[in-house]
Amino acid sequence: MYQSVETFILDIPTIRPHKLPMTTMQVQTLVLVKITAADGTVGWGEATTIGGLGYGEESPESIKTNIDTYFAPLVLTSKAKNIAQLRKLINQSINGNRFAKCAVQTALLDIWAKQLNLPLSEVLGGRLRDSVPVLWVLASGDTDKDIAEAKAMIEKKRHNIFKLKIGAKSVKEDVAHVIAIKKALGDSASIRVDVNRAWSELECIDGIAKLQDGGIDLIEQPCAINQIDTLTRLTKRFDVAIMADEVLTGPDSAYKLAKCHAADVFAVKIEQSGGLLEACEVANIARLAGIDVYGGTMLEGAVGTIASAHVFSTFESLPYATELFAPLLLTKEILTTPLVYSDFELQVPKDAGLGIEIDETKVKELTRK
């Protein structure tokens, strides 16, 4: 059914330093997967991490090596009659590797949707919206610069929801930074924070109380991944919404978190979930448990971002919007026609498959030698 599987590592500079608790990004590294079916139909997928191994267990280098060494032979020799059978074979044969699995699955779904002449969202159950709201992450680390950047985004009608990455400094410094930005923007913007699992429980109690009083709308992953009991206590203690992120690693973890209502909101990410189909399962578990969802990102480029948008377009509600801004953070374009951002939202393509066209000349130019 498939004639080739190719992988490419691309290093693309960012428009400005992007400061996170675990690293400061000046370059984003994408892993692109190109699968060609027997009939010549081409599908694309993407696996992108943050800071190499600074964020998770997979790096761009390991993703490429594992796809080339383990995934490709399975795909090329499989006698599976459909994606469901091939997905089952991959999961039975390869442990872990959620990001790599997502990239391969995305390319396979892109092919399938193209062969059916349907947008990918329709293959995933059908879109409920043609665009998704998108926030912007303020991560210069400088309060005045962040305020100016946010005001410029509001003026352009590109973003009016902002998230701040905190946790690298003291709780006092981080809270002061966030509150100053909220005061400067007032009711013209929604402000959220991502603590990136940096605070102890006592720091969480102190910091979240002050952020709640300061009008902050959402607190993302304030404590460590393994501290589910702490996350549960914080969710019950505060009125401000607490969101689970890194602790979510697919449907199994979503079910465990939902059972004890450990969070008010789930950050659904296609790569952390292990694939687009798994991300839909995470969202369904959240819906059944009465937990809100948020469209998360691993700061993917255009391929992973639009794949996520197709998934998020099928969700019954997106009360906390999405974080699909990352292509705007990159200095180089790999599509023949860029993604469309307007009126604070990202448009979901209506063409078959992912609905995008890769500029393979640009991919070749940016591929790591």
Cite the active site residues.
Answer: 165, 323
| Inter-residue contact 269 to 297 (CB < 8 Å) | yes
| Inter-residue contact 100 to 63 (CB < 8 Å) | yes
Which amino acid type is present at position 305?
T
Contacts of 148 (CB under 8 A, 6+ apart): none
Buried-exposed string 32-45: b where 16+ CB fall within 10 A, e elsewhere = bbbbbbeeebbbbb
Question: Alpha carbon of 218 to those of 176, 190, 192, 214: distances in Å?
Answer: 16, 9, 5, 11
Distance CA 255, CA 289 (A): 9
Q: How many CA atoms lie within 13 A of 216 on its CB side?
A: 30
Distance CA 74, CA 314 (A): 30
Tally the residues of the chain: 369
Q: Which two tokens stand for residue 17?
A: 């330093």
